[in-house]
Amino acid sequence: MAIYGGIEAGGTKFVCAVGTGPDELQAETQFPTTSPDETIGRAVDFFKAQPIELAAIGIAAFGPVDLDPASPTYGHITTTPKPGWTQANLAGRISRALGVPVGFDTDVNGAALGEHRWGAARGLDTFLYLTIGTGIGGGGMLGGNLMHGLIHPEMGHMRLPHDWDADPFPGICPYHGDCLEGMAAGPAIQARWGQPAQTLPDDHPAWPLQARYLALALANLICTLSPQRIILGGGVMNVPQLFPLVRREVQDLLNGYVQAPEILDQIDCYIVPPGLASRAGVLGALALAEAAASTQQ
């Protein structure tokens, strides 16, 4: 049976694992994301130390990334503000060092593929995975294919209506100010209220406002892409009251127009947490490896 390697390459930490799926992980490690040389070197050392030959490696990476196989900078992180990582050739260096096929995609597309393989999106062909954490990103499948296109989706930077009287906070996105990420990522909540999101009490006005922004984004995505399900991961979504607030707000915003029982009557099963919980990222990377190995054959 083929064994795969997966790298959840985050802006804060790298998680590396070896195995075939959620019930079959043979080794795992994690370390902070420092310079590309040191971080990629540690990942390579971990995989080289494994006693078995890996069939492929999957990398689910922070971005933006170049996903165009015809591009000379395919597999690179492109324009990140993270020091040292602009134009870092992540996939190429891993592939050269280990000599195996490499599957490379965004962190959210990786997580989406993992959820499709083993989690909350099994059996679906059109669904979304969004992470709401230190940033906001979204990916998923359309008609059974991971979304790529021109670059890759940047759902975190969609523009939303902003009621300046209700919320005078200008937002923190360096490009757009009050885009979705600028208003609703963890650091935006902290900047608006002057304390970290996880220290705000359950009945704080931060939460209905947060639910409002997320629901505005989801309503736009539902009307644009018609997903069969939406998975919301990331640290901010660990706040227990958020899911019910977001679901109700999505129903209110759509106002009965999208005539699907999933939205009208079964929204608890329509807007859901990841089936793989906090493992969605690294298991998604394993799923990318599995997909890379099967295209090679």
Which part of the chain contacts Zn ion (CB under 5 A), choosing from 6-14, 108-116, 178-186, 229-237?
178-186
- Taking CA atoms, 273 is separated from 4, 79, 187, in Å, by 26, 30, 21
Buried/exposed code over 107-133 (b: 16+ C-beta within 10 A; e: otherwise): bbbbbbbbbbbbbbbeebebbbbbbbb
Q: Does 157 bind Zn ion (CB under 5 A)?
A: yes
| Min dist. Cβ of residue 16 to Zn ion (A) | 30
Q: Determine which residue in the list 60, 136, 179, 230 makes contact with Zn ion, applying CB under 5 A.
A: 179
Q: Does 263 bind Zn ion (CB under 5 A)?
A: no
Q: Does 176 bind Zn ion (CB under 5 A)?
A: yes
Q: How many residues does the chain have?
A: 297
Side-chain half-sphere exposure of 19, counting CA atoms within 13 A: 15
| Min dist. Cβ of residue 181 to Zn ion (A) | 5
Per-residue binding letters, 53-92, with Zn ion (x by CB under 5 A): ----------------------------------------
Residue (65 or 173) nearer to Zn ion, CB: 173
| Min dist. Cβ of residue 133 to Zn ion (A) | 15
Q: Does 159 bind Zn ion (CB under 5 A)?
A: no
Residue (110 or 171) nearer to Zn ion, CB: 171
| Min dist. Cβ of residue 273 to Zn ion (A) | 24
What string of H, E and C letters represents the secondary structure of 179-218?
EHHHHHCHHHHHHHHCCCHHHCCCCCCHHHHHHHHHHHHH
Measure the CA–CA gap between 106 and 223, rounded to whole angstroms.
Answer: 23
DSSP 268: G
The 3-state DSSP class for residue 66 equals: coil
Binding site for Zn ion (CB under 5 A): 157, 173, 175-176, 179
